[in-house]
Amino acid sequence: MSLANNIEFLRRLPKLNGFNGLGDIGRNLRPPADSPLLETVDFGSNPGALRMFSFVPDHRQAVPALVVVLHGCGQTAAGYDLGAGWSTLAKHYGFALLMPQQQSSNNGNGCFNWFNPEDTARDSGEACSIRQMIARMELDVGIDGRRVFVTGLSAGGAMTSVMLATYPELFAGGAIIAGLPFGVATNMREALSGMYQSPSRPAGELGDLVRNASNHQGPWPKLSVWHGSADRTVNPANADEIVKQWLDVHQLPSAPMSEAEVDGYPRQIWWNADGETTVESYTITNMAHGTPLGIGDNDERYGAQGAFLIEAGISSSYHIANFFGLTEWIRQPAKEVPKAAAKETAKAAVKTIPAAEGTTDLTRALWPMTTLGRRPEPASAAPPKRAGIDVSAVITRALTAAGLMK
């Protein structure tokens, strides 16, 4: 099933007066029986009428990061998790996972409504429902509010664009697979045009769509973009438009700062003034519409082939997790620590926690109802000074991108 089929279905829906079942439309919407995802029913007003699924590994970081994963059309949260391998990654690296799921009552093909204005505005519809789910994860799990990320495929990729634009203060980064830029469609005609033709727009116009979606003034989330060059469902030119949009938001030049091959595929990279990778783009040559699968740098395979889940020799899920900075923590077997040593370790840990990270139970309870984003620094704190560019770091990144360093 594709975004095009979904839009055509919505266009014809008023004519289907006798339609009383989904038939073949919902045939892929049954979740796998052995999914580790758990459903949470009560997470807020849920104006978008979505379902909330999550996975929190038993062995995890003390204050885990959160990755929000948005499935594509004709998929379920559990089905996409099985295919893309996100819960396996979460087990290996100790982060939490949130996987919203569309309902057939909202969209016959199970697509997120990325082109409906009522679902793509801040504090409205499906975008607001996903925000409320993140707030519930903060209450239940105690996630690190400064390490929340979002990724998605196809309609989920387009919805990832929506979340990054409407709640930029909430996310440290995002990854869009075979998606579209934010704000290029507000109705079905524009959605079809964007999918098939992807009209080129000025960078400033695209950037303004993001800047005008909220009152946020920065910093902005970093972004990874993935697209198959043989995609006939969502025009690959959309990847260029997404990159163009976020380069303008980050005020970065259009020319890539580095180009290299990763697992045989071209990758373009842009850095900020501190030498940190801010925008990257992967072109998966000769790949159709879907999420590319393969083996990660740790020689582990993540995911399994299926509809829109394509063996390509590169694990997008692993590389996206690495781009988010989530692949450094590795679960270690528990060791018995002498009580005296444990006390000293606890004292040292308390001393090294920055004051801005400490919260009371009341603060944690109120946070989802107030800021719903990375917690602001105390009002009395002076704004941080921007560091000069680290030449050594830039050289190291260039060598790494070129495959000359590990």
Q: How far apart are CA 340 and CA 351, in angstroms?
A: 17
Q: Is 357 exposed, middle or buried (0-12, 13-18, 19+ CB in 10 A)?
A: exposed
Of 149, 146, 165, which is closest to residue 97 (Cα–Cα)?
A: 149
Q: How far apart are CA 38 and CA 243, in angstroms?
A: 34
Give me the DSSP letters along 244-292.
HHHHHHHT--SS-SEEEEETTEEEEEEE-TTS-EEEEEEEETT--SSEE
Helix, strand or coil for residue 321? helix
Helix ranges (DSSP H) in 303-401: 316-323, 339-352, 361-366, 391-401
- Report the 3 state secondary structure along 381-402: CCCCCCCCCCHHHHHHHHHHHC
**Which backbone phi and psi does 11 adopt, to 5 degrees?**
-65, -35
- The residue whose two tokens read 């989904």 is 22
Q: How far apart are CA 366 and CA 108, in angstroms?
A: 36
Catalytic (active site) residue 154:
yes
Q: Which helix (H) or strand (E) holds 174?
A: strand 173-177
CA distances 215 to 52, 117, 211, Å, are 27, 18, 8
Q: Is 22 exposed, middle or buried (0-12, 13-18, 19+ CB in 10 A)?
A: middle
- Report the 3 state secondary structure along 225-236: EEEECCCCCCCC
Quick count: other Cβ atoms within 10 Å of Cβ 362?
Answer: 8
Among candidate residues 87, 154, 161, 316, the one labeled active-site is 154
Q: How far apart are CA 123 and CA 281, in angstroms?
A: 30
Give me the DSSP letters along 74-120.
T--HHHHHHHHTHHHHHHHHT-EEEEEE--TTT-TT----TT-GGGS
Q: How far apart are CA 262 and CA 224, in angstroms?
A: 14
Residues carrying an active site annotation: 154
